[in-house]
Structure 1
């Protein structure tokens, strides 16, 4: 046993010598980017384009935070505290640059008491305040016009958010803010697809009646929201996401199609991010 230990000891010494000869350098300092998504359900996880954007259209050198939340307007997003959370993310140090993409209007247009804002006064004023506070936090604001609804009449898209998009464009121009004109891009795309093909962008498949109406060029009124499912019991994840067919929200196909539009437009609007965005 004594003689067996000698060659093993010699091998260990040789290995140590080789390890000392290996070159060692320090990694270059990290210089990442950060993108924060602020908006409503058409951006939020499971119902909008934000999840597909963060998952597939940014490099690993980008921290992508989707703070989109369903049912929020420029007023309720601030009142409930979501804006404070997003702004806190924008203030986190250590990034080469932080960008905050802001997309609202769907729920500002709502009649619900906690959501609605006046289109020509309150809505643009809220956007301007967002822009000012993002800049004060040391980040770069990017305004995004609202995703079009996919409602048709006699083969023509009814872009019910066109005038609200004008308000976003006006604020972007007046304050020299980069603009992703998602409303114009998505409206042109959906019009080209037509009412029937555009149903494929929804969370769920249309009913036979809804599909027949779309095939004829005029969509039906959106169905009421389905009842909440019974709660999940037992161990494990218990969160649930409501999925439905409508002409506003996005399923996996719609999210990816829209995320590509946003990615290409963002690369043009913010050239400094182009190398970090994946088509």
Structure 2
């Protein structure tokens, strides 16, 4: 009997009998969004909030590019060519919309010769030029006030970037630019945390002495960055990141905490992005 069944099956195949063809359709065209992050180390990968934002707070329909660079100001970011790279990305077609988030001030406030800008003249002028060029590229600028430093005295946060944030707010208002007021949000959050808890946002844990000072409500001065580690040998990846404890840069916890602040503020400032942002 089994042999007869096998013979019949072979005969059926030989006769050309086949299953009905499956229906085939084309996928609908992609309708993607793009977000470009432009700023300093408090936004950059490994030291700021941008990595956590792109990794955890946008949908797969968003191309999220973190072009933050450590140690850059509105002047040096342009002079070294980073702005040209970001602007070229803003001009790439094929996206439903492109938004460029711009966050500077930490290094504009620096005394280093290639970084500093005048707070009341050059700094806002540089921001206005960024805004104009993003719009000319067909994208939408979003200004972001700087992340607060987490320095305390007698239990009160020293917001050393408050006046620089005022300059950004002024440009945003005058030019009708969406604003993510990260300075105000992070300052309020950090003050609520207090000096001791705020140490948990740093890249590395504080020393016992730094933690003891924070418990009193007055933080110690930031210590110098450690020397770079020795080079890695071999055929594998050789890039390295120097992590440190200070009151400015963010570790994994700090990056996620801050990225959540940015996400919610961005959703309020840019309603057309709400469907693409994740809590």
TM above 0.5, yes or no, is yes
1:7 corresponds to which residue?
A: 9
CA distance in 2 between counterparts of 1:86 and 1:7 reads 64
2:139 corresponds to which residue?
A: 139
Q: How does 1:1-279 map to 2 (within 5 A)?
A: 7-8=9-10, 10-11=12-13, 13-14=16-17, 16-18=18-20, 20=21, 22-279=22-279
Does the residue aligned with 1:247 lie in a helix, a strand or coil? coil
Q: CA deviation at 1:11?
A: 4.4
> What are the ranges of 5 or more consecutive residues in structure 1 without an aligned counterpart?
none
**CA spacing shift, 1:177–1:5, aligned 2, 3 Å:** farther
CA distance in 1 between counterparts of 2:271 and 2:140 reads 13
**CA spacing shift, 1:215–1:137, aligned 2, 3 Å:** same
CA distance in 1 between counterparts of 2:64 and 2:51 reads 9
Does the residue aligned with 2:36 lie in a helix, a strand or coil? strand
Matched length:
275
Does the residue aligned with 2:19 lie in a helix, a strand or coil? helix
RMSD: 1.6
Q: CA deviation at 1:17?
A: 3.5
**CA spacing shift, 1:127–1:17, aligned 2, 3 Å:** same
Does the residue aligned with 1:17 lie in a helix, a strand or coil? coil
CA distance in 2 between counterparts of 1:10 and 1:78 reads 73
CA distance in 2 between counterparts of 1:98 and 1:69 reads 20
- TM-score, normalisation: structure 2: 0.96
**CA spacing shift, 1:262–1:6, aligned 2, 3 Å:** same
Does the residue aligned with 2:100 lie in a helix, a strand or coil? strand
Q: CA deviation at 1:248?
A: 0.1
CA distance in 1 between counterparts of 2:147 and 2:243 reads 18
**CA spacing shift, 1:210–1:175, aligned 2, 3 Å:** same
**CA spacing shift, 1:255–1:11, aligned 2, 3 Å:** farther
CA distance in 2 between counterparts of 1:181 and 1:29 reads 35
Does the residue aligned with 1:125 lie in a helix, a strand or coil? helix
CA distance in 2 between counterparts of 1:119 and 1:139 reads 26
CA distance in 1 between counterparts of 2:66 and 2:11 reads 56
Does the residue aligned with 1:41 lie in a helix, a strand or coil? coil
> What are the ranges of 5 or more consecutive residues in structure 2 without an aligned counterpart?
none
Q: CA deviation at 1:10?
A: 3.9
CA distance in 2 between counterparts of 1:205 and 1:5 reads 76
**CA spacing shift, 1:6–1:165, aligned 2, 3 Å:** same
- TM-score, normalisation: structure 1: 0.96
- Cα deviation 1:121-160 (Å, max 9, x = unaligned): 0000000000000000000000000000000000000000
